[in-house]
A and B are shown apart, each in its own frame.
Chain A
């Protein structure tokens, strides 16, 4: 036993899979200890904030300011608003407006903006221009305002008595603040989702829930599969016939169809994460049953089983002591695969909108579902779905790798 475990941990495939899985597991366990925020708390007003460091503007204005004279500051400021794409778009508008092409020099910022300010009219809509395009030019125009100014921004406050604005300070273009000194800074490493929730916190919580679902589903499926497989294989006869009748029945109906039907009939409100896990578990025991049965049938006529019978052991004792240890490695591998397929089944079910109810806990499938409903994939908001895909793939990959590693240890014929 000790020897086997040592051998398992010497298998490189198992080790890699195990490391990935443990890393995910540790993050799921320890992340909530450091970030105690509710995973489903809506913090952002708006959808799909990009990943990044969010600095509170109010606190920034009021925090200590430093003057840094950096040469490329103005250039960068212009470049952030007026990139190559924007310049080309402006050229397109101006050409449509009727300005001759040779007059437009898109690389001379001052001239281009001057030309733009002299000619642009928000109300003009050229033939063939969509209203979205028209609005885009409106936004572009707004963002260009004051771009070339060298003046600072005047801060003003309302005088309580007179109601007039009184200047309280000026923010020069050379003013800087130290992010570490700003009272409120929020790092959103994966941005926010469509509801304005912190993606990372949500993702970690979702991974935990999905692992739980996988574990419950895998346990149920393995328990049912193991029990039925042992009974059918060892007892045989009519017990085998009845069990195999139901197993074959479930084999020919694709389990995803059963999952969809059962989930649908349970109803959105009653579907918690555990309910979904149980449903998945009860629809995926078939292959374990068949495999265990096949193994048991090959074992039950072996001499050590006969010897155990002749030594006066009961059926229960023989199953537990003479059959189970021989198929234990197989069952462990099946269990790992069942967990992984349970997670995938939940993801598949949730993406169809038949997963756990959306108000309770996030799951990996639900996050995919939300990202899909809000067209994150069309709008290019990669952070709303890509990290989820990566986590699902990693969990599945690590488990399959562990399974292969175990297989090679228990099945020496498979070793290279």
Chain B
């Protein structure tokens, strides 16, 4: 069991370069981050600031070109398929675009079934599996009976994203990376989805990394906010510190770019 004081996940000098020679671009330029168990952090930045690259490195989907990631106090080792599988039992993600996140050839059952199998429930009787899937779906206000034999693309965007949360419900990971999960969803579904996610977080006590460009979201949900600019964290702290009293000009700009209904939106800074 890892020490309580030990950060659950720690990244040191995490770097990712794309291309080489003249075309070399530094997507993530050596960032450090520490994540304690049960924390909710938000990484805010505009498009191209390296948020998603950072998230994918933490997830182990792309290999960093520099720096180290420590998971539960140990250097992360995902060199083999088995080790990756073990790592992914602990860390999961929800992606930005629900329309492209599902394999269009697979039915919803198989998406959820994969999660049960991953948690070692592959040999359970079919009834048991159906019970688990029904439970997961009802958690996100979906009816499993209506979803069986349906394909993901037959659902609405909000429903698909809820199904993703049902997936996390079944997988029960320690860390969840939510990469712009509400950016493709309309405003009404958005609140529902965030509510569900926070409810799930309270239920299974997981650590959540929100990746977003939405400063408002960052303010409401997170314990800690990181502002990312050109592959670097330029500012970090509690939401009150960072969003209400920003020091960096970049942060100020990000905040001023959010439209406010009660005052005129200053487009000159965009």
Contacts and interface: CB of A to CB of B under 8 A. Distances in A.
Contacts of A306: 56, 59, 61, 93, 95, 101
A312 B60 CA distance: 13
Interface string A298-328: 0000111011111111110000011001100
22 contacts: A303-B97, A303-B101, A304-B104, A306-B56, A306-B59, A306-B61, A306-B93, A307-B95, A307-B101, A308-B103, A308-B114, A309-B84, A310-B59, A310-B92, A311-B111, A312-B85, A312-B88, A312-B89, A312-B117, A321-B106, A325-B105, A326-B105
B20 interface: no
Contacts of B105: 321, 325-326
A411 B111 CA distance: 27
A306 B88 CA distance: 11
A321 B103 contact: yes
Nearest to B96: A303
Contacts of A311: 111, 114-115, 118
Interface of A: 302-304, 306-315, 321-322, 325-326
A303 B100 contact: yes
Interface in B150-164: none
Contacts of B81: 314-315
B70 interface: no
Contacts of B111: 311
B102 A307 contact: yes
B216 to A, nearest CB: 25
B114 A304 contact: no
A308 B105 CA distance: 12
A240 to B, nearest CB: 15
Interface string B98-136: 001111111000010011011000000000000000000
Range of interface residues on chain B? 20 to 34
A306 B61 CA distance: 7
Nearest to B98: A303
Nearest to A302: B100
Contacts of A310: 59, 61, 88, 92-93
Nearest to A311: B114
A22 B85 CA distance: 49
A303 B61 CA distance: 10
B92 A304 contact: no
B32 to A, nearest CB: 25
Given A311-B115, A312-B114, A304 B85 contact: no
A309 B61 contact: yes
A325 B93 CA distance: 24
Contacts of B103: 304, 307-308, 321-322, 325
Contact of A312 (B59, B97, B118): B118
Nearest to A1: B105
A309 B88 contact: yes
A304 B99 CA distance: 9
A287 to B, nearest CB: 26
A163 to B, nearest CB: 90
Nearest to A323: B103
B244 to A, nearest CB: 34
B210 to A, nearest CB: 17
A214 to B, nearest CB: 29
Interface string B219-247: 00000000000000000000000000000
A61 B104 CA distance: 76
Contacts of A309: 61, 84, 88
A314 B56 CA distance: 18
A304 B102 contact: yes
A160 B106 CA distance: 90
Nearest to B115: A311
Contact of B114 (A303, A313, A314): A313
Contacts of B56: 306
Nearest to B81: A314
A239 to B, nearest CB: 15
Nearest to B85: A312
A326 B104 CA distance: 9
Contacts of A307: 95, 101-103
Contacts of A322: 103
Contacts of B102: 304, 307
Instruction: Kindly name the residue among A309, A311, A322 whose own CB sees the greatest number of chain B CB atoms within 10 A.
Output: A311
Contact of A304 (B88, B89, B100, B115): B100
Sort A-B residue pairs by CB-CB distance and give the 7 closest, nearest first: A311-B114, A303-B101, A312-B118, A303-B95, A325-B105, A304-B103, A312-B85
Nearest to B92: A310
Interface in B36-89: 56, 59, 61, 81, 84-85, 88-89
A220 B255 CA distance: 59
Nearest to B100: A303
Contacts of B89: 312
Contacts of B100: 302-304
A325 B105 CA distance: 7
Contacts of B84: 309
A303 B96 CA distance: 9
B55 to A, nearest CB: 11
B170 to A, nearest CB: 10
Given A306-B59, A310-B88, 8 more contacts: A304-B100, A304-B101, A304-B102, A304-B104, A310-B93, A311-B111, A311-B114, A312-B118
Contacts of B114: 308, 311-313
Contacts of A308: 103, 114
